[in-house]
Amino acid sequence: MSLENQFKQKITSYTPLDQPIFLYWKGRVGLYALLKAYKIRANDEVILPAYTCVVVPNAIIYLGAKPVYIDIEKNTYNMDPKLLKKAITDQTKLIICQNTYGLSTNIEEILNISKSYSIPVIEDCTHGFGGTYNEKPNGSFGDSAFFSTQWNKPFSTGIGGFIVTYNPLIQSNLEEINKSLIKPRFMETAMLSVLITIRKYLFSDKFYFKLVKWYRLLSQYHLVIGSSQKDELQNSQIPKDYFKGMSSTQMREGIVQLDTFKDLLRMRKKNGDVYTNFLKKHDKAHVPRSLHKDHSFLCYPILVENRAHFQKLAKKAHIRLGDWFNSVIHPIQHNFHHWQIDPNSFPNADYISKHVVTLPTDTKHPEKILKYLEKNIAYLK
Ligand SMILES: Cc1ncc(COP(=O)(O)O)c(C=O)c1O
């Protein structure tokens, strides 16, 4: 069996996504391919949560379409379905919903509304691979779904992503569109192999901040392959060589990673439980129990006061806190007009983006993190 089919088979063995899978250099490229397959074009509107990564609206804007943002619910960190109807117009062609941090979105309510308007839903499962909603896998509810296998995603191929669609017309459109995928260059995949090896052997709580700092710095100057290119964070012009396929290096790594994915998922859920118990005991904001069963706990969001200082203290204590999403369209802090969004119009998303930090769930030592939280409990909301 080809490497590509082995990887695809491994993916489907974890979540019954029993439909053809399409592989890409990054998850965002998969989204872009999907938007093209749905024939999204100038003046079309695509609805999405106002709490996401900037590369999501980018893919919409690259096609000349308009991103229409919706505020989130404070407990699920996902699109508030109550606001959906009001955002739908005659120009609405698609709705994108998300599994922020692995939390399920209220997909049934969203589907009820989308069906009544005959608007297809794409699930952004970049955080949600391995999670379920009402015992059905994330990514199996909408018309199509896309996933990410970037560094800090449910399982990692360095960078990477894939999509699945349940719509035969979209499948055949994708087959045509994918004929123009660019093949990753040898130097790119060689560099990715080196980065994957470095991460494997040097990744630890102690080295984490140094590694991230160097990675971000070098990737800014295109000296290593970054998750995002400078262009993607400065304006909404499509970068050169954007539409790239997945390399065999990524597929090979994906197969290795998926071998131990179930154990990782178990660890994430267990740590999620540990954090919830702790936060509940201290009467602090936590992921409600009712949302636990389905959560894949990619990471665990908490809300803090004086975040910059809280992060500084964490760095000193070698606690790997995540800083996403630190903006309504992470990591953008200025020039929001390029992405057609005003953070002030989305009070929940704006508030959370200013107060959230995420706790790692892929740790064997949650007690170290609890100790840190206990010591700094005054910062927690
Ligand atoms: C919510 C969300 N959607 C899409 C993406 C894009 O995934 P990728 O980095 O694989 O392109 C990300 C990346 O972090 C994300 O957080």
Is any ligand 1 atom within 6 A of the Cβ of residue 164?
no
The number of beta carbons lying within 10 Å of the beta carbon of residue 175 is 12
Instruction: Please name every residue paired with 94 in a beta bridge, in sequence order, or none if there are none.
Output: 46
Is any ligand 1 atom within 6 A of the Cβ of residue 327?
no
CA separation for the pair 294, 363 (Å, rounded): 20
Which of 180, 204, 226 terminates a domain? The answer is: 180
Contacts 24+ apart (CB under 8 A), 237-241: 237/62, 238/58, 238/62, 241/182
Q: Which atom of ligand 1 is nearest to the CA of 161?
A: 10
Tally of CA atoms within 13 A in the half-sphere of 82 that contains its CB = 4
State CA 134 to chain mean position distance.
21
The closest residue, in CA terms, to atom 7 on ligand 1 is 27
Range of the domain at 170: 3-180
Cβ atoms 108, 79 nearer than 8 A: no
Task: Identify whether residues 361 and 272 lie together within a single domain.
Answer: yes
Task: Identify whether residues 9 and 127 lie together within a single domain.
Answer: yes
The overall pTM is greater than 0.85: yes
The closest residue, in CA terms, to atom 12 on ligand 1 is 53
Q: Which atom of ligand 1 is nearest to the CA of 146?
A: 4
pLDDT in tens, 301-315: 999 999 999 999 998
Choice among 181-185, 234-238, 338-342, 362-366 with the minimum mean pLDDT? 234-238
Is residue 325 a part of any domain in this protein? yes
Task: Identify whether residues 164 and 25 lie together within a single domain.
Answer: yes
Is residue 64 a part of any domain in this protein? yes
Choice among 184-193, 223-232, 326-335, 360-369 with the minimum mean pLDDT? 223-232
pLDDT in tens, 32-52: 999 999 999 999 999 999 999
Task: Identify whether residues 137 and 274 lie together within a single domain.
Answer: no
* Mean pLDDT, rounded, for 318-347: 95
Run of H or E residues at 7 = helix 3-14
CA separation for the pair 112, 115 (Å, rounded): 5
The count of domains in the chain is 2
CA separation for the pair 204, 326 (Å, rounded): 23
Percentage with pLDDT > 70 across the chain: 98
Q: How far is ligand 1, taken at its centre, from the CA of residue 172, in Å?
A: 24
Q: Which atom of ligand 1 is nearest to the CA of 152?
A: 14
Which of 149, 180, 211 terminates a domain? The answer is: 180
Is residue 281 a part of any domain in this protein? yes
Which of 180, 215, 237 terminates a domain? The answer is: 180
pLDDT in tens, 87-138: 999 999 999 999 999 998 889 999 999 999 999 999 999 999 999 998 899 9
Is any ligand 1 atom within 6 A of the Cβ of residue 98?
yes
Q: How far is ligand 1, taken at its centre, from the CA of residue 195, in Å?
A: 19
Q: Which atom of ligand 1 is nearest to the CA of 228?
A: 9
Is residue 217 a part of any domain in this protein? no
Is any ligand 1 atom within 6 A of the Cβ of residue 227?
yes
Whose structure tokens read 């994330």? 138
* CATH number reported for the structural domain that contains residue 68 in this entry: 3.40.640.10
Whether the per-residue pLDDT at 233 is higher than 80: the answer is yes
* CATH number reported for the structural domain that contains residue 336 in this entry: 3.90.1150.10
Is any ligand 1 atom within 6 A of the Cβ of residue 78?
no
Task: Identify whether residues 144 and 280 lie together within a single domain.
Answer: no
Is residue 127 a part of any domain in this protein? yes
State residue 282's pLDDT score: 97
Task: Identify whether residues 298 and 160 lie together within a single domain.
Answer: no
Q: How far is ligand 1, taken at its centre, from the CA of residue 83, in Å?
A: 23
Is residue 334 a part of any domain in this protein? yes
